Structure 1
Amino acid sequence: MTAIQIFLSPRYRLLSHVLFWAVYMVYATLLYGSTRDDYWRGFVEVISTLPVKITAVYFTLYYLIPRFLYARKYPGLILIFIISVILFGYADRFLMHKIYVPIYLKDYNYEKFPMTDLAKAIQRSSIVYLVVFAASAIKLIKKNYQTERFSQELGKEKLDAELKFLKGQIHPHFLFNTLNTLYALTLQNSPKSSEVVLKLSHLLDYMLYDCNVELIPLRKEVQQMQNLIELEQFRYGNRLEVSFSVTGDVSVQQIPPLLMLPFVENAFKHGVSKEVEEAFISIDLTLKDQQLILRVENSKAEGDTKPEAEYTKGIGLRNVSRRLDLLYADSYDLQVFDEEDTFMIVLKIPISAKGNLVSEANPVQQSLV
């Protein structure tokens, strides 16, 4: 935390006030003392009227500004400000006459400059309100700083809550589709059912426990992609050809959980489930130049003319697209290629050499990644 942040933070309010008055007293003493080459006299002049300046400052900070400026009661603000200027001017002049004048101006002409002299009171008030304006400026800057910081924290909490909500929706989505696979195998009395149950348990363990953090090792996501592929292969058998390749070291990098699995699941859902003859799915994951590139391509059933939106409107893909927007803003790239016989997505997200995903778009989003 910088010195400015400490000064503006409400946690250090007392310290900031003490520091403000200490700086004022040192500055004013040096200023008045240098003009007369007598710094003790300058100190006496400062200290003799300090109570008026303190009262004027806190009257403005804690009464005028909150009650009238923030409430936009400008006529009342102007009226009370004018009255206070005159009153504090007379108060400052009164203390000067009672403390400073008897010590340093013993031959002062009270008849020529009486206590009731309005011009002299306004002159003294101008000195008082230099301090008031300085303190008010600091208060308004502090208020703006706190408002901006609160807005940022609120935005971060909102993003975090939405990310958790979207991630929570993905869990039952994967479970639903995997149970459908198991149901189909049990209807066939397939001996592979036990293997499906085992892999399903691994997938549930991943979703229920490993995914309760902001970042997971990339290798775990890759393992569950392979797990999902094997689950689907149990269902489709020999009529499905799947290729899955990984280029680059996935043992160090980290990514948000369940970020790539929906794309793989979508390929099976739309590219294979309605195929009568042999179908194919090709999945390539590449780490290169601090970037993760995922390419998922699947065949389309003959005569399938559904538009691109039909392939991308499922719960899983809608959620993962929204999560990408929240986590990366404009620093990711998702392309969809809808050809006559094939459907392909290409996802590119930044990834640092140290293993943490980065987003240059927004500092609030970066703190969530």
Structure 2
Amino acid sequence: MNIATYNPENRFQIIKLYTVYWLGYILLFSMIQGLPEGDFIVAWRNEWYSVFPKICFVSIVVELLMPRLLFRKKTTLFIIIYVFLILLFAFLQRLIDNYIILRYYLIFWKMEPLFSAPVFLYNVSKLQFVVTIPIAFKLFYHLAEEKNKVQTILSEKLQAELSSLRNQFHPHFLFNVLNSLYSKILSKSDDSAEIVLKISDLLRFSIYDINSKNISLQNEIDYLKNYIALQQLRFDKQLQLSFSVYGNLKNHIIEPFLILPFIENSYKYCLDENNQGWITIAITVTEDNWLVVKIENSLSDNLPISDKNISGGVGILNVKRRLELLYPEKHILTIKNEVSNFFVSLKLKMEDDNY
């Protein structure tokens, strides 16, 4: 419970905590002062008379000065006012001791001067003792609240960055699939209608799932199959494709569209000057819940120099960053950019489908 939160429910909790605290304080000092002399009842009564200035002092310091000065980096002013208040309330305590307790209840005790150093310092020490624990709790909850704020800011920053990365990928994907349709329309292919249907399915899936935190692994694989089928319609017999899936896909979730950029790259760079190429894709879910994705494709000999470093492309850099943010220490990404082929291996620790 945060002492700095001022809604009615929390205020009620604070009042209960303070009530327990002050009752405990009165009982403790009544025992310390009363039991050795055998006058516990007198000591108990006197502590009740002297507790009011202590409550005022603690409340002012903890509920007013700390939030308004100490937590706003006005430390020097806080210390100055704190010293003034502890001396002021020690003096008020001396007035209560001399003119109420000693005069009316302990008439046989000797009345010390108001500014008698030993007695005055004793009252200062009691005030310091009684305020230390509330200050410590206030600091603890304030630090906890600040930590929560930092974590919230970092979480919001992470989500904003992930959203930006997903939105970077989405237009890139749309550009590629629309190119597929364009090339078929130019050639007046009978496959155009089927391509439009598959593009419609892909767009529906991507629009609804692109900003989802997680989707089922089965849906992700189905999406990949649809995308691959679309690309095969585009390239027809130009590409030799091997695509296989092993293991149990059920009851696992994954960040959407982590695998697709690697497959996109395979189609983008695999055709040689004779418009021939090959792609091998193997996806496995192991018994210990690791997703293993291996993709290998041929590379064209006539790739421009700017395209030789495929692993530095926007799509792959995007996925690398998302893996770092979402699966820290839960993924292994291996990329080999050879002269005649490009190889990707991704191992990802799966999460259970409990959303």
Q: TM-score, normalised by structure 1?
A: 0.86
The equivalent of 1:59 in structure 2 is 60
Displacement of 1:138 after TM fit? 1.5
Could you tell me which of 281, 284, 291 is aligned with 1:283?
A: 281
Displacement of 1:253 after TM fit? 1.1
The equivalent of 1:142 in structure 2 is 141
Instruction: Flag the 1:102–1:287 CA change in 2: closer, same or farther, 3 A.
Output: same
Aligned length: 348
State whether residues 49 and 101 of structure 2, in contact with CA within 8 Å, keep that contact through their aligned partners in structure 1: yes
Displacement of 1:63 after TM fit? 4.7
Displacement of 1:311 after TM fit? 0.9
The equivalent of 1:28 in structure 2 is 26
The equivalent of 1:15 in structure 2 is 13
Q: C-alpha distance in 1, partners of 2:33/2:116?
A: 25
Q: C-alpha distance in 1, partners of 2:132/2:167?
A: 52
SS of 1:286's equivalent in the other structure is strand
State whether residues 291 and 350 of structure 1, in contact with CA within 8 Å, keep that contact through their aligned partners in structure 2: yes
Q: C-alpha distance in 2, partners of 1:127/1:276?
A: 92
SS of 1:214's equivalent in the other structure is coil
Q: Map residues 129-208 of structure 1 onto 2, 5 A cutoff.
A: 129-208=128-207
Partner AA of 2:228 in structure 1: I
Partner AA of 1:302 in structure 2: D
Deviates more, 1:66-75 or 1:286-295: 66-75
The equivalent of 1:86 in structure 2 is 87
Instruction: Flag the 1:46–1:219 CA change in 2: closer, same or farther, 3 A.
Output: same
SS of 2:348's equivalent in the other structure is strand
Once the two structures are superposed, residues 203-260 of structure 1 have per-residue CA deviations (whole angstroms, 9 ceiling, x without a partner) of 0010012334211111111111111111111121112011111111112211111111
The equivalent of 2:50 in structure 1 is 49
Q: C-alpha distance in 1, partners of 2:253/2:135?
A: 48
Instruction: Flag the 1:34–1:79 CA change in 2: closer, same or farther, 3 A.
Output: closer
Deviates more, 1:308-317 or 1:117-126: 308-317
Partner AA of 2:221 in structure 1: V
Displacement of 1:95 after TM fit? 1.8
SS of 2:81's equivalent in the other structure is helix
Q: C-alpha distance in 2, partners of 1:88/1:16?
A: 23
Displacement of 1:137 after TM fit? 1.6
Q: C-alpha distance in 2, partners of 1:107/1:322?
A: 80
State whether residues 333 and 347 of structure 1, in contact with CA within 8 Å, keep that contact through their aligned partners in structure 2: yes
Instruction: Flag the 1:214–1:287 CA change in 2: closer, same or farther, 3 A.
Output: same
State whether residues 334 and 346 of structure 1, in contact with CA within 8 Å, keep that contact through their aligned partners in structure 2: yes
Is structure 2 residue 315 aligned with structure 1 residue 316?
A: yes
Instruction: Flag the 1:103–1:67 CA change in 2: closer, same or farther, 3 A.
Output: same
Q: Map residues 211-360 of structure 1 onto 2, 5 A cutoff.
A: 211-272=210-271, 274-288=272-286, 289-302=288-301, 304=303, 306=305, 310-352=309-351, 354-355=352-353
RMSD: 2.5
Displacement of 1:190 after TM fit? 0.2
The equivalent of 1:363 in structure 2 is none
State whether residues 89 and 128 of structure 1, in contact with CA within 8 Å, keep that contact through their aligned partners in structure 2: yes
State whether residues 311 and 337 of structure 2, in contact with CA within 8 Å, keep that contact through their aligned partners in structure 1: no
The equivalent of 2:96 in structure 1 is 95
Q: C-alpha distance in 1, partners of 2:165/2:82?
A: 53
Q: TM-score, normalised by structure 2?
A: 0.89
Instruction: Flag the 1:98–1:257 CA change in 2: closer, same or farther, 3 A.
Output: same
Q: C-alpha distance in 2, partners of 1:212/1:223?
A: 18
Structure 2 unaligned segments of length 5 or more: list them. none
Displacement of 1:41 after TM fit? 3.0
Q: C-alpha distance in 2, partners of 1:350/1:307?
A: 34
Q: C-alpha distance in 2, partners of 1:260/1:41?
A: 79
Instruction: Flag the 1:310–1:292 CA change in 2: closer, same or farther, 3 A.
Output: same
Q: C-alpha distance in 2, partners of 1:41/1:27?
A: 16
Displacement of 1:304 after TM fit? 4.6
Instruction: Flag the 1:291–1:128 CA change in 2: closer, same or farther, 3 A.
Output: same
Partner AA of 1:54 in structure 2: I
Displacement of 1:31 after TM fit? 4.0
Instruction: Flag the 1:39–1:260 CA change in 2: closer, same or farther, 3 A.
Output: farther
Q: C-alpha distance in 2, partners of 1:30/1:259?
A: 63
Instruction: Flag the 1:73–1:251 CA change in 2: closer, same or farther, 3 A.
Output: closer
Structure 1 unaligned segments of length 5 or more: list them. 1-5, 357-368
Q: C-alpha distance in 1, partners of 2:200/2:208?
A: 12
Displacement of 1:161 after TM fit? 1.6
SS of 1:49's equivalent in the other structure is helix
SS of 2:279's equivalent in the other structure is strand
Q: C-alpha distance in 2, partners of 1:125/1:35?
A: 17
